[in-house]
Amino acid sequence: MNAGVEKGVAKAVTLRRNVQIELQVNGEPTEVSFAPYKTLLELLREDLDLPGTKHGCELGECGACTVLLDGEPVLSCLVLAVECAGRSVETVEGLAQGTRLHALQAALTDLGGSQCGYCTPGMLMTAKALLEREPSPSRERIREAIAGNICRCTGYQQIVDAIESAARELRAGGETAR
Amino acid sequence: MSGADKKFDVVGKARRRVDGRGKVVGQLRFADDLVLPRMLHCKLLRSPHPHAVVESVDVSRAEGHPGVHLVLTGEAFPVPYGIMPVSLDEHPLARERVRYVGDPVAAVVAKDEQSATEAIELIAVRYRPLPTIASPEEALANPEARIHDYGEQGNIHRNQAYEFGDVEGALAASDLVFEDLFFYEGNTHLPMEQQASLASVEGDGKLLLQSSTQNPHYLHRQLARVLQMPASQIRVIATPNGGGFGGKCDPGNHEFVVCKAALVLGRPVKISLTREEVFYQHRGRHPVLMKFRTGVSKDGKLTAMHLQTLLDGGAYGSHGPASTFYTGVLTPVTYQLPRFKFEACRVFTNKPACGPKRGHGTPQPRFGQEVQLDKIADKLDLDPAELRLGMVTEPGSLTASWLRVGTTGLAACIRSVVERSDWKAKHRKLPLGRGVGLACSTYMCGAGVAIYWNKMPHSAVQLLLDRSGQVTVYSGATEIGQGSDDVLAGLIAEALGIDTDAVRCITGDTGITPIDLGSYSSRVTIMMGNAALQAAGRVRDQLAAAAAEALDTLPERVVFSQGRVFAVDDAGKAMSFVEAVALAEAKFGTLSAVGSYTPPKPPGKYKGAGVGPSPAYSFSACVVETEVDPATGWIHVPKIWIAHDIGRALNPVLAKGQVIGGVYMGLGEALMEEQAFRRLPPKLSDALVHRNPSMLDYKSLTALDMPEVDVTLIEDPDPNCPYGAKEVGQGPLLPVMPALANAVYDAVGVRVDEVPVTPDKVLRALERKAKGEAARVGPEAFPEVPYPSPTFVLPPWENGDGDELKGADGKPVRRERRVATA
């Protein structure tokens, strides 16, 4: 917000010349040119046409913008896009195989873990990172893993149910669901 | 319409919601995900002063900044707006006055957000600060400086008083009278999606606004008003809301600003509020101070209640006139209360405006009422559950205030949570530091009266079918995450015997869909649902007539189930649903039908009787278990049991999700959520600012804090509701706060008569208890409020006729206001 700005102080001229990087986005080699001040979140949403990743605060407080960077969950609003050169980014758009949903996606919607759907992309990416590290987490571990992803609709219970159920399915070898 | 004996194909079955897939694949487009060619970006300059005269605004330097296309000030908006016709007190950009820190003063439209952000800092505004009104007490004590030049008097926005039967007489005759003060701090919706809006001028020259709004219809009307354009030239599309909870009900300043900018520039203009701006936009829970004087008989029956409330409304009217009513009107719905009086006052203060949040105006008095009942049970040595069971309202009865209680499952709810929580083995029996608390509540299934007075339907639905078998349903209802599209598809599918997959929902678009008033007051399932069933019934009649001819049976013997259409007594006579549609299209022409719904006329006839009536009421009961550390005051909640009288669960997965989500939000309010303000030090500006406008500092429950919730749905179909389904979006939040406070008392023997119940308050109460003082923390005094003389209405059982008492001259008799002496 701009409260308290009465002074009208001229700001330093922002460097506006675009930078160009190469990176992997959902498994695809990608070349992109963008303003150097942008965050990874802005790069995805504004320059790579991937608005599935959401923003809830742009201050690293809500978890809505979580993506995987080299397999690790990160808050994309706190990652400078230029730092992603040569790295691999996974977003919600890369979860399904063709039209077949990932087990986490199917479980989350079937078990009520996605109401308004706004925290859902970040929740899914956090959960994916968890299950890749720990294929059979306890409910308590699931709660810990998603503690940084705020959801205002569900009260989390059905999200935990869904991650638990997807973990079971993935362990049983079902890679994808309908 | 209850269809109690019908076997259902769709209703009651757990299904993936119809909009579920789009959400998990990241394809659902929220407002800020929308991009249009040549789109520009908007930022607002907001006031740093809580109360000031705007003497001048110099935009020349901002206009010259690179990338800037337009700068707007209050001059662009001469016409005021407001969600309620009686409170048209806002301008999209301040004209002469700013009334809270954050009040928008100017707007910049630029090629990108960065340029717009830079340019707003170049706008020079000269303010002349005015005295700040920081609290309701200050508002009452200081009629000047007046924040608005309208209202009851001074800084009082609304002042209401109603008396149903002689309350003082009944209190005087009561065995015991309990007098308690409670305070409920304000809190905010905190939707995950920050408000965003995209305005554009379409190819046909008409204005299009795509916005995260819960109420596209009301927004549409206000846009026409402020922009001084015919409504037919404006189209509002409610984008899927990333959470609403009431926070996207009011038209927002930013929505008018981007529309105006798009009209001036002929280019699309988008705005997305920052999280800090969302906190200042607010329109959330009113802080309310309450005084209850309740009479009871020794055997635990209520005799009368006198409730006084004082609402901190913030800087604008918003839904305030309704919010004020709601701190009183639903109080008598849960328990038999022979006489009832409420006085309610809303004042203006220099803070972001309060408005509707989940439960709108009712969680505050429900908290007070249910905590006071716990005290009453304690004093009378009665089990709190038994006390409540002994006085629940009867189905179909009237309240003293002439509200019609329809079906009620409250007793069943209480019995359910008592049994499932093992209440009788725990209450007053757990060791020190552990406790259980119980509370109940009710909520409307839609407000009985629209926000602006009219005789038209509250909801309408249109169906269109064609030979492909596709069923398209159009409704103005708005999907805010609660599942309204799924309710719509589910009801249509059930009525036509098809799968929800065969139904396409087109909703929340004033350019295409018939009017629905919006996603507020838990009205959508009931009102949209009844309209949908009427439309479906009409189409079904046509399909049955055409199918009956081909099947050589009678139309009334045609059954629709699982995509098949067949004769009830001869399964051999059958065809597919698609075949039946083709036959009907051949017989009747293009197949379409509309349905609409208007709530029943309320039984009360007195002025003001329009707030509170509803086609049905949901009921909830809740038990919270706590572990309270007497050394630190820390409150841990291991488990919550809740039972909700839902009439019928259309999709149990979603219904259960609404209940748990309501409990979650209620527990957050009970324990930590606070929209509170502080003054900056004088050397800075002395301004009144939000204490914690970020998601880190505004505490909400995380997955780690959230206890297990045991949910029971009580299903007793209500005849006024579609297939019997009542609301579930708001009711389950309401009993959580008082149940928590009552559980803290059971655990450590102290009363925190204030929300939120925080560790410091528990400790303070424990310290008082240790010193032999009253083991309580809460408000100590209720200020003198100049409530008006009450409108006096006789209860139904005192030969009342539902109207206010009138003299021989036909004018209402105002009883002299009697000030209670404590």
| Distance, CA of B609 to CA of B444 (rounded, Å) | 14
Nearest CB neighbour to A150, from listed B43, B687, B695: B695
Residue ranges per domain, chain A?
Answer: 19-94, 101-177
- CB-based contact A103:A132 (threshold 8 Å): no
Residue A161 C-alpha from the chain's centroid: 20
Nearest CB neighbour to A109, from listed B23, B664, B708: B23
| Distance, CA of B278 to CA of B139 (rounded, Å) | 25
**A68 neighbourhood in chain B, CB within 8 Å:** none
Polymer length in residues for chain B? 822
Q: Do A108 and B61 touch (CB under 8 A)?
A: no
Q: Do B121 and A8 touch (CB under 8 A)?
A: yes
Q: Do B192 and A64 touch (CB under 8 A)?
A: yes
A114, A109, A124: which is closest to A154 by C-alpha?
Answer: A114
Question: Which residue numbers in chain B have pLDDT < 50?
Answer: 1-4, 819-822
Q: Which candidate in A7, A104, A115 is best for mutational testing of the B interface (most B CBs within 10 A)?
A: A115
B519, B134, B95, B91: which is closest to B316 by C-alpha?
Answer: B91
Two tokens, residue A117: 């759907």
Query: Residue B815 has what pLDDT?
Result: 64
**Count of CB contacts below 8 A, A vs B?**
211
> Of residues B737 and A2, which shows the higher confidence score?
B737
**B45 neighbourhood in chain A, CB within 8 Å:** 2, 5
CA distances (Å), B723 to each of B109, B282, B494, B564, B597, in order?
Answer: 49, 36, 10, 21, 15
Q: Do A51 and B33 touch (CB under 8 A)?
A: yes
Polymer length in residues for chain A? 178
- Determine the number of helices (DSSP H) and then strands (DSSP E) in chain A: 5, 7
SS (H, E, C) B352-402: CCCCCCCCCCCHHHHHHHHHHHHHHHHHHCCCHHHHHHCCECCCCCECCCC
- CB-based contact B215:B84 (threshold 8 Å): no
- CB-based contact B337:B400 (threshold 8 Å): yes
Query: Residue A1 has what pLDDT?
Result: 46
Q: What is the ipTM of this complex?
A: 0.96
Nearest CB neighbour to A62, from listed B121, B274, B695: B695
β pairing state of B40-46 and B269-272:
parallel
Which residues lie across from B237 on neighbouring strands? B210, B509
SS (H, E, C) B520-563: CCCCHHHHHHHHHHHHHHHHHHHHHHHHHHHHCCCHHHEEEECC
Q: Which candidate in B15, B21, B24 is best for mutational testing of the A interface (most A CBs within 10 A)?
A: B24
Domains assigned to chain B: 20-27+457-597 (3.30.365.10), 34-130+192-243+248-281 (3.90.1170.50), 159-187+284-448+606-777 (3.30.365.10)
Nearest Cα of chain B lies from the Cα of A103 at a distance, in angstroms, of: 11
Q: Which CATH architecture has domain A19-94?
A: Roll (3.10)
Coil/strand/helix, residue B576: strand
Task: DSSP letter for B130, please.
Answer: -
| Distance, CA of B122 to CA of B118 (rounded, Å) | 7
Q: Do B193 and A59 touch (CB under 8 A)?
A: no
- CB-based contact A131:A81 (threshold 8 Å): no
Q: In this predicted model, what pLDDT tens digit does every residue of A56-79 receive, in sequence order?
A: 999 999 999 999 999 999 999 999
Dihedral sign from CA coordinates of A152, A154, A160, A164: negative
Query: Residue B683 has what pLDDT?
Result: 78
At a CB cut-off of 8 Å and minimum separation 6, what does B756 contact? B185, B187, B669, B670, B671, B672, B673, B674
| Distance, CA of B118 to CA of A16 (rounded, Å) | 13
**B662 neighbourhood in chain A, CB within 8 Å:** 155
In this structure, the number of other CB atoms found within 10 A of the CB of residue A23 comes to 20
Between CA B776 and CA B703, with CA B739 as vertex, the angle to 5 degrees is 110
Two tokens, residue B292: 């209850």
Residue B404 C-alpha from the chain's centroid: 21
Task: Classify burial at B432, counting beta carbons within 10 Å of its beta carbon; exposed 0-12, middle 13-18, buried 19 or more.
Answer: exposed
Two tokens, residue B492: 């249509």
Coil/strand/helix, residue B268: coil
What single letter denotes the amino acid at residue B758? T
**A93 neighbourhood in chain B, CB within 8 Å:** 25-26
In this structure, the number of other CB atoms found within 10 A of the CB of residue B612 comes to 26
Q: Do A114 and B23 touch (CB under 8 A)?
A: yes
At a CB cut-off of 8 Å and minimum separation 6, what does B571 contact? none
- CB-based contact B123:B59 (threshold 8 Å): yes
SS (H, E, C) B39-56: CEEEEEEECCCCCEEEEE
Task: Classify burial at A33, counting beta carbons within 10 Å of its beta carbon; exposed 0-12, middle 13-18, buried 19 or more.
Answer: exposed
Question: Same CATH topology for A19-94 and A101-177?
Answer: no
Bond into B682 cis (ω within 30): no
Q: Which residue of B has its CA nearest to A10?
A: B122
The domain A101-177 having CATH identifier 1.20.1250.20: the answer here is no
| Distance, CA of B497 to CA of B559 (rounded, Å) | 8
| Distance, CA of B22 to CA of B6 (rounded, Å) | 32
| Distance, CA of B630 to CA of B636 (rounded, Å) | 12
Nearest CB neighbour to B20, from listed A51, A53, A114: A114
Q: Which residue of A has its CA nearest to B14?
A: A110
Query: Residue A16 has what pLDDT?
Result: 67
- CB-based contact A15:A36 (threshold 8 Å): yes
Q: Which residue of A has its CA nearest to B239?
A: A116
A161, A91, A75, A119: which is closest to B243 by C-alpha?
Answer: A119
